[in-house]
Every structure is written in structure tokens, then in C-alpha cells.
Structure 1
Amino acid sequence: MTKVQSLKISISGVRGIVGEALTPQLLAAFAGALGTYLGRGPILVGRDTRPSGLMVLNAVFSGLLSAGCEPVDLGICPVPSIQVRTASVRSQGAIAITASHNPVEWNALKFIGSRGLFLNNYQAEELLDIYHQRNFAQVPAQEIPRVRQDSRAIPEHIQKLLDYFDARIVRGARLKVVIDSVNGAGSLAAPAFLRQLGCRVIEIHTRPDGLFPRNPEPLPENLGALRKAVVANHADVGFAQDADADRLAVVDAHGRPIGEDYTLALATLFALERRRGPVVTNLSTTQAIDDIARQLGCPVIRTKIGEINVVEEMIQSHAVIGGEGNGGVILPEVHYCRDSMSGMGVVLQLLAARRQPLHAIVASLPRYVVIKQKAEFPPDQVSRLLDALERRFPDARKSTLDGLKLSWDDRWLHVRPSNTEPVLRVVAEARSRSQAQALVRDAQRIIASLK
């Protein structure tokens, strides 16, 4: 990987490979840019468990202090906990130090505003302008603040979850749960939350040392240890988080992953049965969401990929539930953020209230097969590729809101540049695996022909 490829600066933040392009100087500069943009005052900083986290943390402190901001160290902390705490204490904003599902050699900065929401496109562009122009605020030595500690982020987040869910019903069910936190930030939060819900908890990969025992992306192919542990312990359900604990994968009592998209499908069913209202999700999320919402008389609004795009539409439309098909559940009453523990609460309350095994609840939902792939492709040739795909499928409905999505009544194909990696995302869904595979094959064939 070249130095250029090992760094990605975008509206989603800055991420890169530590020791290559992600240097202390670059990190301090971005922190200084955020301090300049948000203004003097407290800025919360939390991190996942990666071994590079301490280096990144101190570089961030340096940049914030030089701009006259007061860093508030939350320690190792899930990203949703950082967001909840930011909104609660009304700080200037926050920085989450995490590369999420990327491998351990990566790290990143994610920028959060005063309401505990990620910066939107307009705000992120303003921040990037400050960074590129190097026009940073600087304060004299006598005005440099001190770093302050705050250990309340995780307890406050857990309490908000307990206030939202019917803990009495869940406690009464005495569910047995296996939790796999990939030795990430969720290790310090998820087991405690599950025990406060009265679950009998079996922990795997909950040592917060950042040495990921599996690929941190909670895809079915990475959940072998969890699947075995669920079956071996006769558990009711298994949960897997990514390194920063915003995404959730779920495994049923037979050790079968239900699929990331169906985490949100279950949450949609749960939320709409409690209260009718709009659902917001992105273009790459399963059509099962539309089917569930239609059965309950509720509209679905689709957005570009990216948490902040979903969140802003949720606020605008007063949505009851939202999220993304990568296992990201957003419950507005908890906070406008993707939150793996919100997803856990949904599944546990459904199991407790319905007194059915998870596989039976999932079997009652509309079924689709989703295939997700990546492809390397020159960024300057993407528009040419999308034109070729559109010509290949002239009978499809098209959306160019985010890349190109081609839709039919029973299937769809979505191709777009990734927001977090230098690749294309190729996602297809259909009623059968063969139909979805055919769509992906056609897309990959066209991609290969144009490289």
C-alpha cells in the first residue's frame, strides 16, 4: 500500500495507517483545526482500544490545547457513549479516536458537534478548509488549559438504555447471552449493560487490549468463535460488536448469523409496534425494511450512506426508528447515533416479550439475500462506470443520490465509492441468492472491463 492509499481524508473524518501517513503532526493539525472551528471550551475525547490509541490521544490533546480548548478525556469508550455524553454536558464537541471496523494498524479521528452528532457535509467541508489553509487558532502559554478526566460516559449511556427498554420484562426472561466485543471499546460497556438487564452473560473477546482476535468487522465469516460459543453454552442469542461498538451482528440459538441488515429489520419491527411513524435508512439497506413498514402503514425515507445523513433526515421527518444495513440501529429516544447496545436491547426485549426463539421471529420477517463486495477502481473513472451500468440495465429504476442504485420490484443493485476506504462498494439484494449473485457478477464484469 502506498502512502497516498494509506490515508483517507473525507467528510467522515481522517483515517490512515499508523506509522505511514497517519502521523502525530497530522493528528495534532486536525485537532487544532477542530478546536479552531468549534471555538474555545471543553471538547470530549474518547478512544477505542487500539495499541496506537495513546499516541493518537496525546497528539489530539496537543492540537486542542494549542487552540485554547479544554480536552476532556473519556478514556476507552464506545463511540455512541461519547455522543451521548457530548450532548448531555453540552460541550463544544468531541473527537472519537477509532478506525471502527478497519484492521488494527489503522486509526482515525471522527468529529462530533455540540449536539453529539457527527459533523454534516457542510460542517465537515468548513473544517477541512481550516485544516488545508492551516489557519489555526493559537493561544499564549498562560492561556493553555489543562486536560480533565470524565468517567461518566459509559454509565450515563447504559442508564439511558435502561430507561428506554422495559428492563422488568427482560430481567424476567433470564436470557442467556454470549457477547463478543472483539477486545474493543464495547468490552467495557456491553457486558455490564447485559448484566443490568438480568441476562446470564458469557463473555468472549472482552479484554480491552486492542489485540483483535478476529477481523473487527462483524460479518458472518468473522463470527466463528461466537457461533461455536452460542451453541456450546446453549445460549438464547449471541451478539458481536465492532471495535467502536456502533455496529451489531446477531447470532441465533443455532449459531446462525441473522445478517446485519436484519438487526435493523428487527429494530424496525420493535419500534413501529411501539409507535407508528416514519423510518429512515440508507440506499444500501434491505428492502425488508420497506415491507415491514408498509405492513404497519408507515413510510420509509432513503438517504445517502453515512450516519449523519440518516440522522439529519430522522430529525427532519420526526422518525421513530432509523439506521443502516451494516448493523447500525438508531433509537431517537436514546440518542441520534448508531448504537450496538440499542440493537441488543431490541433483540432481548423481543425475545422476552414474544417468548419465541430468535430464529422464529426472524423467520416471520420478509426474506431477502444481500451480497456485499468491494472492488478497486480508479476514482476518476467512476462516472464512466456508472454510465456503463445504467446502459447495461435499461429497464431498472435508477437513483443517483449516492453513486448509482438500480431497482426492480424484487431486487436491486447499488454501486458507489466508499466513504471510508479507497474502493467501490458493490451491493445487491434479491429474493434468491442466485439472483443477487447474478447482479453482482454483472457489475464486477463491467468494473473489470473498465479498469
Structure 2
Amino acid sequence: MTLIKSISGIRGTIGGHVGDNLTPIDAVKFAAAYGTWIKQQRQKENYKVVVGRDARISGKMIQNLVMNTLIGQGINVVNVGLSTTPTVEVAVPMEHADGGIILTASHNPKQWNALKLLNDKGEFLDGDDGAKILDIVKGDTMVFADVDNLGKITKNDAYFDLHIIEVLDLPLVNVKSIEESKFKVVVDGVNSSGGIAIPLLLERLGVHVVKLYCEPNGHFPHNPEPLKEHLTDISNKVVKERADFGIVVDPDVDRLAFIDENGDMFGEEYTLVACADYVLSRTPGNTVSNMSSTRALRDVTEKYGGKYEASAVGEVNVVKLMKKNNVVIGGEGNGGIIYPELHYGRDALVGVALFLSLLADKKMTVSQLRKTYPSYFMSKKKIELTPDLDVDKVLNAVEEHYRNEKLTTIDGVKIDFAESWVHLRKSNTEPIIRVYTEAKTQGEADTLAKRIIAEITEIAKL
């Protein structure tokens, strides 16, 4: 069991000992530290924070702890209940709130939960602010309100609809063309909030929806990370239903993957590539993704005369570089679409709307669309960390071994070869080293990953 405290929030498994797992005590302490930070930053008379959750079994318990901690500090809470990460991000500025908290462990299994923290713009906190909250937790300096100054909780169930309206109002979302295309789509909501939000959006776009695992009960029917090996059921369902394609989201609906009409993966990495292709064809400009994302985005961006740049992994790093480069679309290769016209956050709803607009415009099947993009293949592996493994030592040794190749070390070690690359980094959300590779064929990508893992294993023995 694990508790991970980082600048991006607190994440852990439910139950166990205080300080070792995500217990009620840990949830309260971290929520109180966030509330203290809000007051230090804003310094005003009244405070408001939006709180929402995915459908995890522990969600209601953690949300009640967090909300009541905040009102105990004199902070008013807008409870949006069962929600998505991007919906809470959209709600914060709509509510003119001072921040937001999403209770979700994203793609982690059901025993995990987390507190994801937002600023007053509805964006994830940067490293400096995250570090301040960690310092508040360590210093145990939280102060609570007296009985006459407690906050209040207000329930608002309208934000799924409000979020969808914002998406449909985007100039590049071609509602009429999508409606006329009469698409049939299978949706795998992994029994979380995506099982509500995505079908609602599709129905508003005139799409015939076939639901698969859309009951938001928190019992994930498969590993919730939207990777090929976890998606056999929807692949079979798309073929059986003769659907145009399938949509897969993770539990908090900030990651998006597609299944083509033949039941094959479109490629999670190509979600952003396709959406960028559509946006760039109408609003030429620059793009950003993280270092672990496919080269195909660079290729598509340059086709339209734009500039592509890679950031360190992590949504906050992608957003920072997107703002600096004034990009028109960006995100992460894990299926995370960030479209600044709506908000600076990964958003599967806006990704679905842009993808449907592209398909309606191209008038081709999803498999045909995939063939129009540069073909790269990725391998995503992980190495479980043990207490005696010195990650810095391993990464330094790899860097030294490949010193004659093109290296980038702003986030772990990335080695760019002529026809392939490998990126090694310690995860911010799990006790693992991520090993991502990309090459011109799947075999080459897998072979490169195995070689690097074998080298790391040897280094760890030294």
C-alpha cells in the first residue's frame, strides 16, 4: 500500500496506517493545508472552492471529509458531486471560485484515490504552489474557523450540462455536420463518471450511443488505464454493433482513446494528433505535447507551417509551455487533449467533439483516417521500484552510457536516435520507472524497450 505526496496533490490506497496510505486523517490534513494555502493566496473576506469526484467506491467518503474540512476553515464549498476532472476545471472560473479539488486517482485501480488541486483559473497548481502546500502539511500550521464563521456547502448538479454547452458553442465544433453524419458509437465509461458525461454529449450531437460499462458504481470492469490490452470488450462490441467507432475514457475523463470500426485501436497517441490535424487545418499555429508523446504531432504541426515543442511530463508543464508558445492545441500522448479555446486542461469531452467534427469533415472511416498520419509505434513499459533501487544512479548511468546520442534531461532521460527514441522517468503518481519507446514498427519499439530494461536491471545490480 502506498501514499504519494507530490506537488500535484496526494494520492494513495484507501485504508491502512496514517501516513502510509490515504486514510481519512491524511485526506483531512491535505485538504486543510490546501484551504490554508487558499487563504494565504487570496486574502479576502469570503472564499469558495469547487469540489467534485469520480465514481470510485471511496469517493463519497473522501469528498465528505474534504468538504467538511474546508467549511471548518470558513471556506464555502460548491459540491458538484459526481463529475469529471475537466468539468470541475470548467466550473471553477464559472463559479468565480478561489480553487477546486477533484477526488480521483485517474487511471489507477479502484483501491486508489487522490486529491487533485486547482487554482482560481481551474488549472493545476504549479510546482511552487504545490511545494507550499506540502510545507503547510509538514509544519502542521492549519487554522480553523470559530463556530460563527463556518463555511457552507451548496449543491450544484448543472455542470455536466454547462460543460457540454461550452463544448458545443466552440466555433470549430461542427454540430450540424456531426448530426447529419448519423454516427453510431460505442462508449466504454469504465463504470465511472464518463459513462454519464460522454453519452450526454454524444446525444446532444445526434449520435446513436451504445453504452458499455456506463454505470457509475466505481467497480471498474477492467484495468481503467485505456491501453490496448484492457479494451477487448469494447473492441468486440464495436464490431458486433457495426458501429462507426468506439470511445474509451479513464475514470475522471481527462484521457481519451478511440477504437476503429474494425475493433482495432486508433492509437491513444493519435487522439491528440487527429484533433490537432483538425484544429490546425482551420487555425494554423503551434503545438505542444510532453516528451513521452509521439513524433507524429510534430510532423502534422510542421505540415501546417507551425512549430512543435516538447515539455516535461505533467499537465502543468504542458500548459506552461503552451502559454509561452501561444499554441492553438496541445496535450499529452496518453489521450489528453488541451484546447485553450475552452480551458487549459485535458478534456475528453472537447476531444470527442473535435474528433467527430474531423470525421464529419473528412467523410472517411476511422481506419482510413488513421492511415493518413505518419506511422509510429510505441511501447509503454514500467519497472516496479524497490526500496534499495537508486533511481538517480540508474538514470545517471544511462545518460553516461548514451552520452554520444541526442539527450534531453529536463525530465528523466530521453534519448533521441535517428529512427526511434526512449524516455525514462520516475512516475509522479506510482512507485515505478516509466520506460517509453517509439519506433517505425511495433517490433522495433518493443525490442528497444526490452534492451533498455535489461540495461537498467544490470545497472541496478552494481
TM-score, normalised to structure 1, is: 0.97
* Secondary structure of the structure 1 residue equivalent to 2:289: strand
Answering whether residue 224 of structure 2 is matched by residue 216 of structure 1, we say yes
Amino acid at match of 1:389: V
Per-residue deviation at 1:254?
0.4
Answering whether residue 417 of structure 2 is matched by residue 427 of structure 1, we say no
1:98/1:108 contact within 8 Å kept: yes
Cα deviation, 1:117-159, whole Å, max 9, x if unaligned, reads: 0101111011111111111121101111221111222111101
| Corresponding position of 2:268 | 260
| Corresponding position of 2:205 | 197
| Corresponding position of 1:229 | 237
Per-residue deviation at 1:216?
0.8
Equivalent residue runs for 1:428-447 within 5 Å = 428-447=437-456
Give RMSD over aligned pairs. 1.2
**Structure 1: how far apart are the matches of 2:158 and 2:99?**
16
| Corresponding position of 2:11 | 15
Per-residue deviation at 1:441?
1.6
1:28/1:61 contact within 8 Å kept: no
| Corresponding position of 1:355 | 363
The match for 1:331 among 328, 332, 339 is 339
Structure 1 segments of 4 or more deviating over 4 A? none
> Cα 1:182–1:308, aligned 2, differ >3 Å: closer, same or farther?
same
Cα deviation, 1:317-376, whole Å, max 9, x if unaligned, reads: 211000001010111112111011122112211111111001111101000110000002
Per-residue deviation at 1:394?
3.8
Amino acid at match of 2:429: T
Cα deviation, 1:377-406, whole Å, max 9, x if unaligned, reads: 357622221222223334420000100000
Per-residue deviation at 1:450?
2.9
Per-residue deviation at 1:203?
0.6
Answering whether residue 36 of structure 2 is matched by residue 28 of structure 1, we say no
**Structure 2: how far apart are the matches of 1:46 and 1:319?**
29
* Secondary structure of the structure 1 residue equivalent to 2:169: helix
Equivalent residue runs for 1:398-417 within 5 Å = 398-417=407-426
Moved more, 261-270 or 339-348: 339-348
| Corresponding position of 2:109 | 103
**Structure 2: how far apart are the matches of 1:65 and 1:108?**
20
The match for 1:120 among 106, 109, 126 is 126
| Corresponding position of 1:396 | 405
Percent of aligned pairs with the same amino acid? 37
Per-residue deviation at 1:14?
0.5
Per-residue deviation at 1:71?
1.5
| Corresponding position of 1:169 | 177
| Corresponding position of 1:65 | 71
| Corresponding position of 2:146 | 140
Per-residue deviation at 1:24?
0.9
Moved more, 244-253 or 57-66: 57-66
| Corresponding position of 1:371 | 379
Answering whether residue 308 of structure 2 is matched by residue 300 of structure 1, we say yes
**Structure 2: how far apart are the matches of 1:446 and 1:124?**
34
**Structure 1: how far apart are the matches of 2:129 and 2:400?**
36
**Structure 2: how far apart are the matches of 1:381 and 1:163?**
50
**Structure 2: how far apart are the matches of 1:418 and 1:55?**
27
| Corresponding position of 1:93 | 99
1:56/1:97 contact within 8 Å kept: yes
Per-residue deviation at 1:22?
0.9
Answering whether residue 394 of structure 2 is matched by residue 385 of structure 1, we say yes
Provide structure 1 residue ranges, at least 5 long, that are not aligned to the other structure. Answer: none
| Corresponding position of 1:449 | 458
**Structure 2: how far apart are the matches of 1:7 and 1:210?**
20
Answering whether residue 77 of structure 2 is matched by residue 81 of structure 1, we say no
1:280/1:300 contact within 8 Å kept: yes
Amino acid at match of 2:26: L
**Structure 1: how far apart are the matches of 2:116 and 2:143?**
20
2:275/2:358 contact within 8 Å kept: no
| Corresponding position of 2:42 | none
**Structure 1: how far apart are the matches of 2:313 and 2:363?**
35
**Structure 2: how far apart are the matches of 1:178 and 1:396?**
44
* Secondary structure of the structure 2 residue equivalent to 1:189: helix
Provide structure 2 residue ranges, at least 5 long, that are not aligned to the other structure. Answer: 40-45
TM-score, normalised to structure 2, is: 0.95
**Structure 1: how far apart are the matches of 2:334 and 2:301?**
19
* Secondary structure of the structure 1 residue equivalent to 2:349: helix
1:385/1:446 contact within 8 Å kept: no
Cα deviation, 1:229-259, whole Å, max 9, x if unaligned, reads: 1101111010001000110110000000111
Amino acid at match of 1:48: D
